Amino acid sequence: MATTAPEDEYTAEPFLPSHGGLTALRKAAAECRGCPLHREATQTVFGKGDTDARVMLVGEQPGDQEDRQGEPFVGPAGRLLDRALAEAGIDPSQAYVTNAVKHFKFTRSGPGKRRIHKAPSLREMTACGPWLAAELNLVEPELIVVLGATAGKALLGSSFRVTQQRGALLEAEIHGHKERVVATIHPSAVLRADDRDAVYRGFVSDLKVAARALD
C-alpha cells in the first residue's frame, strides 16, 4: 500500500541534489514528492533566470497558466508584474523569478470546473523551502523582492505583515544569510482590486524602492 508521509514530515530535502548549479536543481525539482501538491499539479514550476541575477523576485506559487506552461509568472499576474517592473526601472529579463511553493494548489469549481488557486498551507510552504534556499545559495542576489503575504511569511516568518512592511528596504536573516529585502503586494492583488489604478501605483512605488536599492 502506498504510504504518505505525515503532514509534519513533509519536506523537499531528500530530493535536493548534493551538487550542481541551477540546471541540476531544476531537474531534481521536477521529481520532487516532498509534499502532496505534486499529485494534482501538472508539473513543478521552478524559478527562472540567471545565476548572476542581481535581484530575486519571490511569488507565492504557480497559477493555472504557469502550471500548464512550466514557467513562473507567465499568466496575467506575470504580465502585470513585468509591466510594473519596467516602469519602476528594473529590467524583468535581468531578474531571477521564483515562487515560495513550486507546485500549483487549486480547487475545482463552477460549471466548467475551473481550477481556482488555493493558498498553500504553512506545512507546504515549509516543505518547499529547501528549493528556495538552494536558489538563494546559487544566485546570491543583492536584493530579494517579496511579492505578497505568502512569500513574506515563507521568507520572513509568520509575523510578517505586508501592509506594515511593504515599500521599505529591510534586512533579514533568511536561510542563514543576511539579506536585503523589499516587500510589496502580490501582482494578483492589483488584478483583484476595485481601485486598480491606485493599487497599481502603490505596487510600482514599492518596486521603485527596490530599483533604488540596486543602483
Least distance to ligand URA, CB of residue 136, Å = 17
Our CB check for ligand SF4 shows the closer of 90 and 101 to be 101
Could you give the CA distance from residue 186 to residue 59 in angstroms, rounded to a whole number?
7
Which 3 state secondary structure label does DSSP give 133? helix
Least distance to ligand URA, CB of residue 66, Å = 4
Q: How many CB atoms lie within 10 A of CB 148?
A: 21
Our CB check for ligand URA shows the closer of 20 and 79 to be 79
Least distance to ligand SF4, CB of residue 131, Å = 6
Contact assessment for residue 151 and residue 60, using Cβ atoms and an 8 Å cutoff: yes
Name 144's bridge partners: 56, 181
Give the residue from 74, 83, 77, 9 showing the smallest Cα distance to 47.
74
Our CB check for ligand URA shows the closer of 17 and 70 to be 70
Could you give the CA distance from residue 42 to residue 189 in angstroms, rounded to a whole number?
24
| Binding region for ligand URA (CB under 6 A) | 59-63, 66, 72-73, 75, 77-78, 99, 188
Our CB check for ligand URA shows the closer of 20 and 199 to be 199
- Among ligand URA, ligand SF4, none, what binds residue 103 when CB lies within 5 to 8 Å by partner kind? ligand SF4
- Among ligand SF4, ligand URA, none, what binds residue 165 when CB lies within 5 to 8 Å by partner kind? none
Q: Which helix (H) or strand (E) holds 147?
A: strand 143-147
| Binding region for ligand SF4 (CB under 6 A) | 12, 29, 32-35, 37-38, 44, 101-103, 124, 127-128, 131
* Sole residue written with cell 502603490: 202
Amino acid at 137: N
- Among ligand SF4, ligand URA, none, what binds residue 44 when CB lies within 5 to 8 Å by partner kind? ligand SF4
- Among ligand SF4, ligand URA, none, what binds residue 60 when CB lies within 5 to 8 Å by partner kind? ligand URA
Cα→Cα distances 169→9, 105, 198, Å: 34, 30, 22
